[in-house]
Amino acid sequence: MSKLKRPTKRRIIFHIDMNSFYASVEMAFNPDLKGKPIAIAGNPEERKGVIVTSSYEARAKGVRTTMNVWEAKKLCPELIVLKPNFERYRAASREIFKMMSEITHLVQPVSIDEGYIDVTDVHDQGTPIEIAQNLQKRILDELDLPCSIGIAPNKFLAKMGSDRKKPLGITIMRKRELPMTLWPLAIDEMYGVGEKTAEKLKSIHIHTIGDLAKADVYQLKQLLGINGERLKNRANGVDDREVDPDAIFEFKSIGNSQTLPQDTTDVTAIKQLIDQLAEKVIVRMQRKEVVGKSVQIMIRYHDRKTITRSRKLDNYIDAKDDLVLIATELFQHHWNEEPIRLLGVTVQHIEEKRNVGEQLDLFTYAEVEKKEKLKQTINQLSEKFGSNAFKALQKNDNKELNQFKTSFQKDFLDDYTK
């Protein structure tokens, strides 16, 4: 049972959502970009590069996430397209969550640019609205980054509140006001309702959040399973999830994906990419001292059709060779030979090494210990000089740094505690 439960006290929860985070960080880093339409894209030079995020100035011209660079520039010829700098974004995120943790220890990051805090028991820093205003002002003054904050008695309403006013909004969501504030919104605007779920709900004449709040729970469960009842509860402002600082440690998978510079069917290039992705995953697993018992690949084709396929393993793995072998076999078995635009490799069913244990006898212990020390040394060099550190010392090749990579997971979200 969670230690955080306070069933008799009305909670006060904030959802802090950074506004156009990547673009805002770039503008804070280079003030000359302020007020200009900018976008972050994986491959800015490539015709098929994909927009990751954009500034509000760019959005006003119609630039949207997942749009190709050439489409975005057609809408906004003056668009400034930048490559992502994840280390810069990660550093900014760390400082933001440190500020939150100075208000309360009940901080739950959910991504690099958003998180929850529970200020129910914070009585020495003003009213909740004053705490929110001070936090928003501090992030803006010290980091030059705008954010929106939702204030509510639960996570769902706090999240909906932070989405109401952007940039630099503070919104209070009260249960008694839901018929006026939440229910008139289109069902597509409800957090937790994706495109396919929205289509299903519309098929039974649920077009607004209010329609969902009043819908028959049996019909919803027939349509969406247990999620139907959960969504109805949320629409009525019911959500008993707590702000859990330990949730960041409950990740069950670690993975990486990469968008290719151009769609390809080149088997050699694909296998090289699988090797690179596997190395990234293994480095992160070893840094976290975890092992995994399932491997998944993701293939996104030229037409954006995406498939994921996985294999459950008999034994836990944490070695690159094992991951490359299994991921390659999965790919070969499931690839339909059409051009690929993105690949992903993920290790699932993660467990801490200390909880799994390895059966060692006196004859194998020394050998395993040597391998572990070698792995640690290689990992330290890899973190300092990049992957394949020994070659990097001989040849300064930064091509890999210029390629767009996306982390599926959130295993860096405890940075602010260190």
User: pLDDT tens, 289-316?
Assistant: 888 889 999 999 988 888 999 999 888 8
CATH fold of 183-235: DNA polymerase; domain 1 (1.10.150)
Q: Which residues are catalytic?
A: 114
Q: Any known ligand binding at 17?
A: yes
Instruction: Give pLDDT tens digits for 107-129.
Output: 999 888 999 999 999 999 999 99
Q: What is the pLDDT of residues 50-80, one digit of tens each?
A: 888 899 999 999 998 878 888 999 999 999 9
What pLDDT is attached to residue 86? 86
Q: Where are the domains of the chain?
A: 14-172, 183-235, 251-417
- Over residues 276-299, the mean pLDDT reads 90
pLDDT at 402 over 60: no
As assigned by CATH, the class of the 251-417 domain is: alpha beta
Task: Kindly report, residue by residue over 209-254, the tens digit of the pLDDT.
Answer: 999 999 999 999 999 999 999 999 999 999 999 999 887 766 678 8
Q: Give burial (CB, 10 Å; 0-12/13-18/19+) of 289.
A: exposed
pLDDT of residue 380: 58
Question: Do 294 and 348 meet the contact criterion of CB atoms below 8 Å apart?
Answer: yes
Instruction: Indicate if the pLDDT at residue 406 is higher than 70.
Output: no
Q: What's the confidence (pLDDT) of residue 416?
A: 75
What number is the average pLDDT over the span 5-17? 79
Structural fold of domain 14-172: Alpha-Beta Plaits (3.30.70)
Query: Chain-wide mean pLDDT for the chain?
Result: 85
Whether 379 has a pLDDT exceeding 90, the answer reads: no
- Tell me the per-residue pLDDT of 180-216, one tens digit each, with 9 for 90 and over: 999 999 999 999 998 889 999 999 999 999 999 999 9
Distance from first CA to last CA of the chain, Å, rounded?
27
Report yes or no: 187 and 220 within 8 Å, Cβ to Cβ: no
Over 90: is that where the pLDDT of 382 sits?
Answer: no
What pLDDT score does 16 carry?
98
Residue pair 286/334 in contact (Cβ under 8 Å)? The answer is no
pLDDT at residue 45, rounded to an integer: 62
For the chain, what percent of residues have pLDDT higher than 90?
A: 62
pLDDT at residue 363 in the model: 41
